[in-house]
Amino acid sequence: MLSLAIFFPLVGVALIATLPHSQERHAKSIAALAALATLALVGYLFADYDRDAGGYQFVDSTTWFDSALTDFNLNYTVGVDGLSLPLVLLTAFLSLVAILISWQVELRPKEYFIWLLVLETSLLGVFSSLDMVLFFVFWEVELIPMFFLISIWGSGNRIYSAWKYLLYTFAGSAFMIVGILALGFSEGTFDVRELGEIGEIEGAIIPAWGIFFLIIIAFLIKLPIVPFHTWLPDAHTDAPTAVSVILAGVLLKMGGYGIFRMAFNIMPDVAKDVDWLLAGIAAVSIIYGALMTLMQTDLKRLIAYSSVSHMGYVLLGVSSIGVVGMTGAATQLVTHGLITGMLFVLVGMVYDRAHTRNIDELSGLAHRMPFITVMMLVAGLASLGLPAMAGFVAEVTVFLGTFERFEALTIIGVLGVAFAAGYILWMIQRVFWGEPDPRWAELTDASAWWERGPLLALTAAILAIGIYPAWIMDLLTDGVTPIAERLG
Amino acid sequence: MSDFEKLGPELGLLIAAGVIIIVDALLPLAGKRAWGARHHLSVFFAVVGVFASMAASLGLVLADEPGPAFDGMISIDDFSLFFNFLFAGVAGMIVLGSIDFLQKNRFHGEYLALVLTAAAAMMLMAASLDLIMIFVALETQAIVFYVLVGFGKNERSGEAALKYLLLGAVSTALTLYGMAYLFGLSGETSLEGIAAYVDGADSGTRTALVVATVFLAGGLGFKMAVIPFQMWVPDVYQGAPTPVTAYLSVASKAAGFAVVMRIFIVGLGEGVITSDWANMFAAISAISMTLGNLMALAQTDIKRMLGYSSIAQAGTFLIGLAAVAASDPQVELGSSSVIFFLGTYAFTNIGAFIAIIAISQKIGSDEISDYAGIYKRSPWLALGLAACLISLTGIPPTAGFWAKVYVFNAAIQADLVWLALVGVLNSVIAAYYYMRVVLIMFTREPESEATFQPGISLGLALTVAVVGLLAIGIYPTPLIEVSESASQVFTS
């Protein structure tokens, strides 16, 4: 069932690929249906997950390759627990959103939707893999669709940004595969469930902290954390809107998820020793990201830098190595995905209409596009952590969990929230309030179903988590508890 | 089973080569129709020869009687059978890839006969267990390739052939000198005999043995095309007809590795100098990967780029060879990683060259910048080449990904973490120049809108290669199992 959900988007790929050229306008409908069916399958899994039993469920496992000679065994093992299931749901949801808001893509639509669906499969695979080599396979597969999506359908300096994205990620995964192989060799298995029970790595050919850093570097690049973040503003700015949504909403979460599952879960001893270092980097990221955000004049870059700051909370929360902080970090992965995804959808709509993202040029858009403005207020307030919105729940939990362990760093982190209020409100004030500029008198509001539908769905999700967080936080707590216990 | 039956795969190819020459000579020369008939007949017999060879190999697999033949000169085992299939398959792909090239060439009979002869010689290289036999096979293969490189019949091709001949002669001398040292020390030409001597050798003869290994590595490094024995590669790759370049880059390289594995693992695998040559190969590997990639970055001609990239790839194979001896129980993992890599590389690199042949003959250029917008003009060719380049980069779901994972795994298990790190960082450099071609094909605007299709033979060859590399990428198990069983000849 889980495998079916992971690979279901490929059914859409096959259908679109066989579509004759004259019918290519139907590619988007097929893609949307495939993504919708995938979401339905994942939704079913979400409802069917036995919360009392917990642990890894819907496990599918087959031997891919079993070496007669050595410990080099490949297994196809997928399964989800409380930590990964919400992320799988987020992926399926945002993929559908991304396809819907691409309704008007005219350039090579067949390939565009094929790459989006391939991307969805690889992302679902990353969050579901319970075998490190399989995880790495899905992690790498994601590169090719992203490379094409940015370089062909992007804007501005798209080629440069696609390169930067590819090479940063590829460099990170180069280290990761060495770490994975060294780990697998010393423990005789790549199975995450078994590795999660070992605790202390002994007799490895490189010291455990070496393996830890080889593996975590890829996740820190992906998250991203200062100073490995420079690919992110470029990739975000030049990617097409739908890809920015996936990038901010899901791809960054691969980094956070990897830190939980592959680094802290498997190597708790090392994690305990370096938590102060990671928390320090996180605090730097939060503040540096926030300050950079304040300086931006491009809407997309602004939100991109705010992601750097917000992802710092994830690392801060994980580094607290307690259940509360880690639950907060995991919740932040989900809520940031929804909120920033929504912000990018809105920025994309503004850009499609005004053909500029320059904050200095835009003014008084509220008069022209009231619906988009209201939505921007919702997403913006959620992003700055207004109570009753999803962002608040996650960030408060992070701070609660972290304060005990790193007082000073938490206070620095809270400053980031103050900055967030600053850059979000200031942005809304400059772009949407103010005197209506006659240049923008012709702009229209979002009115099509494929524009309003995703925005309303995102709003509903943000409010649902904000008002009654238990439905997702209970799951996440169950998911991180074993990891936190191993660390404690 | 008689010795001659064991030589079936080679004989199949050689008989086909003979038939092609005779038919070519007997049919009347004049007339366009006679030319066409000769052309078709030559190709037909070449394909029959390849299939006959594969059938003979299959017969040997089914007979399951591994063992030496011709008084221990050659060995029929899983290792040589693997290479029998590899070389026959590659030769078949080269025949398919050469058909268009031969339309413009009068000497198709000779060309195809030489292609088959080279494959037979390379099979013998992989099967030989005796220095004399190895040398005979090595020279047969080398001389055939000197001629093939010059087949382009233009100045570049002639220059390439001359360069290849002169440097090849030096490498032959080096190899022979190394062999003479081994013979002089041990008094044996058979690898088993040499192994017995080396195993019992004391530290007094170590220097002499090290000198022998250095000369052998130098001479054979020329075949493997690793730095610092690579100077012929760019010019020869660029100058030779593209099908021959493909043949050189895959088959000749694989044959070089097969001989190196036989000599070093069987002959020199036990005893005082094992760690010496392992360190030597580790160093050559690191240098080849790094310099090969850095030089590939600067290329504007796609054949030269693939030439330098093949040097880097050979460096990656050498990781596996360095892992063989770096620690004792790693013989099988190290050698099977090399064998697996050679298998995947055959699909990947042949596919890339076939796509280049198909594209370049239509656009009339090998310049990378002229590949702009090929996707719009010939989507399937562009996708095929992209798949091969992604596999060369080592991104799943392609065969190249597993090849790299497997070889890095061998390095890490052999305690060569530094070499694995050099390897993975090099794949990041390589990603830049491989993916740059993909990017140019898919994102730039084409100079002309004219669409084109590859011919049937090229399309078939490219399809086989791409399907193969994707199939291995999704389910690598069969090829890994074959590689592992081939590598067991070194331990049992």
CB contacts < 8 A (A, B): 88
Spatial contact of A112 and A243, defined as CB atoms under 8 Å apart: no
> At which residue do the structure tokens 């902080």 appear?
A325
Please report residues of A whose CB lies closer than 8 A to that of B401: 137, 140
Of the candidates B111, B62, B58, B116, the residue with the CA atom closest to the CA atom of residue B87? B116
pLDDT at B267: 86
Q: What angle (nearest 5°) sits at the alpha carbon of residue A106, between those of residues A104 and A112?
A: 95
What DSSP line would sit under A218-276, residue for residue? HHHHHTT-TTS-THHHHHHHHS-HHHHHHIIIIIHHHHHHHIIIIIITT-HHHHHHHHH
pLDDT at B164: 93
pLDDT at A285: 94
Show the 3-state SS of A44-113: HHHHHCCCCCCCCEEEEEEEEEECCCCCCEEEEEEEECCCHHHHHHHHHHHHHHHHHCCCCCCCCHHHHH
At residue A73 the predicted structure's pLDDT band, cuts being 50, 70 and 90, is confident
State how far the Cα of A180 lies from the Cα of B334, in Å rounded to an integer: 18
Comparing B206 with A331, the larger pLDDT belongs to A331
- Other beta carbons within 10 angstroms of residue A459's beta carbon come to 18
Tell me the pLDDT tens digit for each residue of B84-119. Answer: 999 999 999 999 999 888 887 778 888 999 999 999
pLDDT at B340: 94
Domain ranges of chain B: 273-492
State how far the Cα of A118 lies from the Cα of A111, in Å rounded to an integer: 10
Tell me the pLDDT tens digit for each residue of A439-480. Answer: 888 888 888 899 999 999 999 999 999 999 999 999 999 999
* Phi, psi (degrees; rounded to nearest 5) at A106: -105, -25
Inspect the interface and report whether the beta carbons of A140 and B401 lie closer than 8 Å. yes
pLDDT at A226: 87
Low-confidence ranges of chain B (pLDDT < 50): none
- For residue B333, the distance in angstroms to the closest alpha carbon of chain A comes to 7
Inspect the interface and report whether the beta carbons of A167 and B442 lie closer than 8 Å. no
CA distances (Å), B287 to each of B233, B290, B426, in order? 16, 5, 11
Please report residues of A whose CB lies closer than 8 A to that of B388: none
pLDDT at A295: 92
Of the candidates B461, B289, B439, B290, the residue with the CA atom closest to the CA atom of residue B372? B439
Spatial contact of B411 and B423, defined as CB atoms under 8 Å apart: yes
At residue A290 the predicted structure's pLDDT band, cuts being 50, 70 and 90, is very high
pLDDT at A68: 66
Of the candidates A247, A219, A245, A250, the residue with the CA atom closest to the CA atom of residue A89? A250
Here the ipTM equals 0.92
| CA dihedral of A150, A154, A155, A156, whole degrees rounded to 10 | 10
Inspect the interface and report whether the beta carbons of A166 and B431 lie closer than 8 Å. yes
Over residues A353-375, mean pLDDT: 89
Residues of chain B whose beta carbon is less than 8 angstroms from a beta carbon of chain A are: 332-333, 336, 390, 395-397, 401, 405-406, 408-409, 412-413, 415, 417, 420-421, 424-425, 427-428, 431-432, 435, 439, 442-443, 475-477, 480-481, 484, 487
pLDDT at B49: 95
pLDDT at A124: 97
Spatial contact of A288 and A308, defined as CB atoms under 8 Å apart: yes
pLDDT at A70: 65
Domain ranges of chain A: 273-488
Report the mean per-residue pLDDT for chain A: 91
pLDDT at B71: 87
Of the candidates A133, A163, A132, A134, the residue with the CA atom closest to the CA atom of residue A146? A163
Q: What angle (nearest 5°) sits at the alpha carbon of residue A129, between those of residues A123 and A135?
A: 75
> At which residue do the structure tokens 């690191």 appear?
B286
Over residues A11-39, mean pLDDT: 93
* Phi, psi (degrees; rounded to nearest 5) at B367: -70, 135
Which of B327, B380, B409, B427 is most worth mutating to test chain A (most A CB atoms within 10 A of its CB)?
B409
pLDDT at A247 over 90: yes
pLDDT at A76 over 70: yes
Residues of chain A whose beta carbon is less than 8 angstroms from a beta carbon of chain B are: 64-65, 67-72, 74, 133, 137, 140-141, 143-144, 147-148, 151-152, 159, 162-163, 166-167, 170-171, 174-175, 177-178, 181-182, 185, 205-206
